[in-house]
Structure 1
């Protein structure tokens, strides 16, 4: 009952309302790891830093907001087959004592999705009536330039790292990279705001059209309650637990692909792509995940197996070494 209670508590705490709770949780296998960012750097190839991406296979260097991506994707790496959204984050790297870098792989969430080919777990949470996103909706959360706790905490909520002792670990979260070795990897959690201005599907900074709740409800400037989008990514840091390879001063060795060695630059990107009214139906039905099998308990949605989701991938558009030991981060991003 612990896991179910945790999800319900999280939903109730973060989204205003009192008309039932949705805790839709599912796996999205790795679609591609590539230096593209059609939201922040549309049309730029390569983008400044590397991303790991899941969701629909229409992900591209440019994604026209006037085009409904649920009509252009032919497969999705997520288990709900009507979800062609794209979800992406930066990529984690290990920086060895000799100054070289090695990309850290994602792995399937050990709580039910260990057979997934990397990627991340995606949640849509609510504790009351919410309005699902519209075609063309997109948003980001976090700021890759942040390097202090004060910067992060002043602007964003619920962006954390969990040093996994086991797959079940759900305590001890921090806003910075864990300082010691993590026996089962590092889980990165990214939660988006839950209030929308009700008008704009995007904004110049990709964030001003959304906001966090104010007190018991959404602020007057952003009066529409939306589902909380929430990512959990398991990074397989286990191959790098040999401290003799860590920096000589004993500092933690991980760095984001955008050059952040503190962890405070944590951020995520989202482009909505559910087909038709599928997400609204799921939220209205208070859909959730089965406590024991982790299957989606939502008759209104169509789903596929993890094995089927694993087959939806795209080829990298930027051809560069992402698998060997590198002298610098992709794009020459400086660690700072």
Structure 2
């Protein structure tokens, strides 16, 4: 058995060579307004025309509070109520309507001394040069199908083969700064329209409340908090016309004859704006499980981000001989053993929509290559893993699911939806689960002190 455990531990250490790093969310086009709640807050109609994605209520008066209270989002994650917006695109033949944006949250240059922190709730960020006239290293253009991003705006996009036929498409990619000053949720742009426009010049190089990382992946002086880098990709189908020689982006309007008159300018004014309104539990899971943790088999990153997540608050092993043991980094379950795990019930479960509830563990059979099924049961919660250890009676006879295990050591999500729903209905503040091992094999779980904490994963 010792050799099996050594192999399991060595495997987990070996995965430290790479990090899971990225996840993404895709948000369809929502609406268009001449508003900007960061640059001209509260001044409806006084900003350049923007296309908005994500939160459906974004306007000139939007705040974190108003965004987070609106449950309607065009994003494919219910946990993302953030606001994303970009200038409108047109050419001589008319406006080119964006269909969606896809944002990659990345840690492309992981530095152990600069772990990723969760993006603060309500953080406002700007990226790109609002008055640019030449290529910017943080803005890229892509003709879909060409395979190459470039900082130079193309004059046309060739057709590419896609389902349904050939159609040219332009993508604009905006890279946001990934180091925060740790103090200011909003950029200080000064007062007055002219001063605010001057302040915007810093956005092109990242000199406001957020900055771009150094070449070695560290954060510059004055910006000590490393956060995920947002890469905002906007999709513009071009229909039957591949020509982009007359393409322009919206600029701030000018006030003439008692009204605001829209202006248009260079494609090198491409930029993006963002207000963070992710569910805090989801964002923390992203950082803890996808960015600061070694790449782990079965890990739920990419697009598999929970809407709610609750890490285990206690876990204990009850041996077949009746002795109860608080655990170290691993929960070793021999034949006849029972594993107890307890979780805080996630708060405000009616605030965000989710379809199913899972017990998430990192586990595997360490006896042989057999596939086995462990049974899950409801457990009482009047115990802990310190002074008040559970007895055998704490594991009830109410079966709530099972865990399929083979000898692959990996993250596993096992459905416990009905049980979690019953605990929610009972207004339980804690949820207890026990795992009975009647397989004749020894299995091993990572404990809450180990490499992958057991958790309740609701999505």
> TM class by shorter-chain length?
0.5 to 0.7
The root-mean-square deviation of aligned C-alpha atoms, in Å, is 2.9
Alignment of 1:187-198 (within 5 A): 187-198=171-182
**3-state DSSP of counterpart to 1:282:** helix
Decide which of 74, 82, 87 is 2:84's aligned counterpart: 87
1:143 alignment counterpart:
129
Give the C-alpha shift of residue 47 in structure 1. Answer: 2.7
2:223 alignment counterpart:
222
Give the C-alpha shift of residue 282 in structure 1. Answer: 1.5
1:333 alignment counterpart:
none
Does the 8 Å contact 1:68/1:135 carry over to 2? no
Decide which of 263, 267, 274 is 1:270's aligned counterpart: 274
1:234 alignment counterpart:
235
Cα deviation 1:46-76 (Å, max 9, x = unaligned): 13321111112331221245x3632x11211
Does the 8 Å contact 2:140/2:150 carry over to 1? yes
Does the 8 Å contact 1:218/1:224 carry over to 2? yes
2:75 alignment counterpart:
78
- Paired with 1:304 and 1:28, the residues of 2 have a C-alpha distance of 18
Q: Does 1:122 align with 2:103?
A: yes
Provide closer, same or farther for how the CA distance between residues 189 and 18 of structure 1 changes in structure 2, counting only shifts above 3 A. Answer: farther
Cα deviation 1:190-216 (Å, max 9, x = unaligned): 010111111111221375111111232
1:297 alignment counterpart:
304
**3-state DSSP of counterpart to 1:264:** helix
1:309 alignment counterpart:
none
Unaligned runs of 5+ in 1: 1-16, 97-101, 107-117, 244-250, 289-293, 306-336
- Paired with 1:94 and 1:45, the residues of 2 have a C-alpha distance of 25
Give the C-alpha shift of residue 79 in structure 1. Answer: 0.9
1:11 alignment counterpart:
none
Q: Does 1:182 align with 2:158?
A: yes
Q: Does 1:134 align with 2:120?
A: yes
2:31 alignment counterpart:
32
**3-state DSSP of counterpart to 2:268:** coil
- Paired with 1:63 and 1:262, the residues of 2 have a C-alpha distance of 28
Does the 8 Å contact 1:177/1:254 carry over to 2? no
Does the 8 Å contact 1:285/1:298 carry over to 2? no
2:456 alignment counterpart:
none
**3-state DSSP of counterpart to 1:30:** strand
TM-score, L = length of structure 1: 0.67
Unaligned runs of 5+ in 2: 1-15, 160-167, 190-199, 252-262, 296-300, 309-351, 356-459
1:111 alignment counterpart:
none
- Paired with 1:303 and 1:176, the residues of 2 have a C-alpha distance of 41
Aligned pair count reads: 249
1:285 alignment counterpart:
289
Residue range with higher mean Cα deviation, 175-184 or 21-30 = 175-184
Cα deviation 1:259-283 (Å, max 9, x = unaligned): 5553211110000101223112122
Q: Highest CA radius of gyration, 1 or 2?
A: 2
**3-state DSSP of counterpart to 1:52:** strand
Provide closer, same or farther for how the CA distance between residues 295 and 286 of structure 1 changes in structure 2, counting only shifts above 3 A. Answer: closer
Provide closer, same or farther for how the CA distance between residues 19 and 132 of structure 1 changes in structure 2, counting only shifts above 3 A. Answer: farther
- Paired with 2:183 and 2:31, the residues of 1 have a C-alpha distance of 32
Does the 8 Å contact 1:135/1:272 carry over to 2? yes
- Paired with 2:17 and 2:249, the residues of 1 have a C-alpha distance of 38
**3-state DSSP of counterpart to 1:33:** strand
TM-score, L = length of structure 2: 0.50
Does the 8 Å contact 2:103/2:232 carry over to 1? yes
Q: When you count strand as a share of all residues, which structure comes out higher?
A: 2
